[in-house]
């Protein structure tokens, strides 16, 4: 799998009621070769999404005729295209609510064009890879995952993971650059009765990092989104995690 594959220009729908921000986002996306459609309201956004069938949606939560989360829930009923939220709401519960509703990422205002474009490219790469089907072999850095044999190796040596650790690694690496919330991980790996047991995820993530990362205290691949969940970065990073 080529994790650094570039993607061609995409159809992007920008739903934002502030004209200046909408114009800024449009110019940035068009400079990267994308075809941009704009909407200033929730209702218009849903109409454009149905007509244009965008490859990616850039969405503000505070719209004049409704909450952007309502758009996400409706959009998710018929589309799997990534949704990148742009919002001035910085509280953790706002991020978790949007991500749990089906958003793929959350960027807090104010933001720069470089970060916007980097996140856009990351989500479009992921969509492009999924369109081609999942591959049995995945590698990043010195780690290799053989999904067919359910084996993980580091520098060619077999890494012994528990079933939960393997499931956690597979979930994150199957959605590169996408924030997966604690609640989503708990729901899928432990079931609905454990959706508030965040410490379960933290303990197993700590153990997984010790086996995967060169320095588990400064993870490069399995990154923490503080108070929200985790994200797999295929390009790698150097960030303090917990």
Q: Which residues contact residue 71 at a Cβ distance below 8 angstroms, ignoring those fewer than 6 apart? A: 15, 42, 45, 46, 49, 59, 63
| pLDDT reported for residue 168 | 93
Averaged pLDDT, 212-225: 93
pLDDT band at 133 (very low <50, low <70, confident <90, very high): very low
Between CA 57 and CA 176 the distance in angstroms is: 18
Q: Are residues 106 and 153 in the same domain?
A: no
Query: Which of 57-71, 130-144, 157-171 is most confident?
Result: 57-71
Give domain status of residue 96, yes or no: yes
Out of 131, 159, 193, a domain closes at: 131
Q: Are residues 50 and 149 in the same domain?
A: no
Lookup: tokens for 221: 């691949």
Q: Which residues contact residue 123 at a Cβ distance below 8 angstroms, ignoring those fewer than 6 apart? A: 56, 82, 84, 104, 105, 177, 178
| pLDDT reported for residue 212 | 95
| Of the candidate ranges 27-41, 74-88, 112-126, 134-148, the one whose mean pLDDT is the lowest | 134-148
Phi, psi of 138 (to 5 degrees): -135, 135
Between CA 224 and CA 134 the distance in angstroms is: 25
Out of 89, 112, 131, a domain closes at: 131
| pLDDT reported for residue 91 | 86
User: What would the pLDDT profile of 22-38 be if each residue is shown by its tens digit?
Assistant: 999 999 999 999 999 99
Q: How would DSSP label each residue in 98-160?
A: HHHTT-SEEEESS--HHHHHHHHHHHHHHHHHHHT---SEEEETTEEEETTTTEEEETTEEE-
Q: Are residues 110 and 211 in the same domain?
A: no
Averaged pLDDT, 141-150: 87
User: What would the pLDDT profile of 34-66 be if each residue is shown by its tens digit?
Assistant: 999 999 999 999 999 999 999 999 999 999 999
CATH number at residue 103: 3.40.50.2300
Out of 116, 131, 146, a domain closes at: 131
pLDDT averaged over the chain?
Answer: 86
Q: Are residues 9 and 123 in the same domain?
A: yes
Q: Are residues 116 and 188 in the same domain?
A: no
Report field, pTM of the whole predicted structure over 0.85: no
Q: Are residues 127 and 141 in the same domain?
A: no
Residue predicted with more confidence, 137 or 142: 142
- Domains of the chain: total: 2
Q: Which parts of the chain fold into alpha helices (H)?
A: 19-31, 42-52, 68-76, 92-100, 113-131, 163-173, 182-189, 198-212
- Structural domain harbouring 90: 2-131
């Amino acid at each position: 799998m080529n994790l650094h594959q570039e993607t061609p220009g995409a159809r992007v729908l920008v739903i934002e009621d502030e004209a200046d921000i909408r114009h800024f986002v449009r110019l940035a996306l068009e400079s990267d070769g994308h075809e941009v459609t704009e909407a200033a309201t929730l209702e218009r956004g849903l109409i454009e999404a149905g007509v244009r069938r965008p490859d990616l949606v850039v969405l503000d939560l505070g719209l004049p005729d409704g909450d952007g989360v309502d758009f996400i829930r409706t959009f998710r009923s018929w589309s799997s295209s990534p949704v990148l939220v742009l919002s001035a709401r910085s509280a953790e519960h706002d991020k978790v609510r949007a991500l749990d509703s089906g958003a793929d990422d959350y960027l807090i205002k104010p933001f720069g064009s470089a970060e916007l474009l980097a996140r856009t490219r990351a989500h479009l790469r992921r969509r492009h890879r999924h369109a081609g089907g999942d591959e049995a072999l995945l590698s990043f850095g010195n780690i290799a995952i053989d999904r067919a044999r359910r084996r993980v190796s580091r520098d060619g040596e077999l890494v012994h993971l528990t079933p939960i650790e393997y499931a956690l690694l597979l979930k994150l690496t199957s959605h590169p650059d996408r924030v997966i919330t604690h609640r989503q991980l708990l729901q899928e790996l432990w079931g609905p009765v454990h959706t508030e047991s965040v410490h379960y995820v933290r303990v197993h993530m700590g153990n997984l990092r010790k086996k995967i990362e060169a320095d588990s205290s400064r993870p490069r691949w399995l990154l923490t989104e503080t108070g929200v969940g985790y994200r797999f970065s295929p390009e790698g990073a150097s960030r303090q995690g917990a």
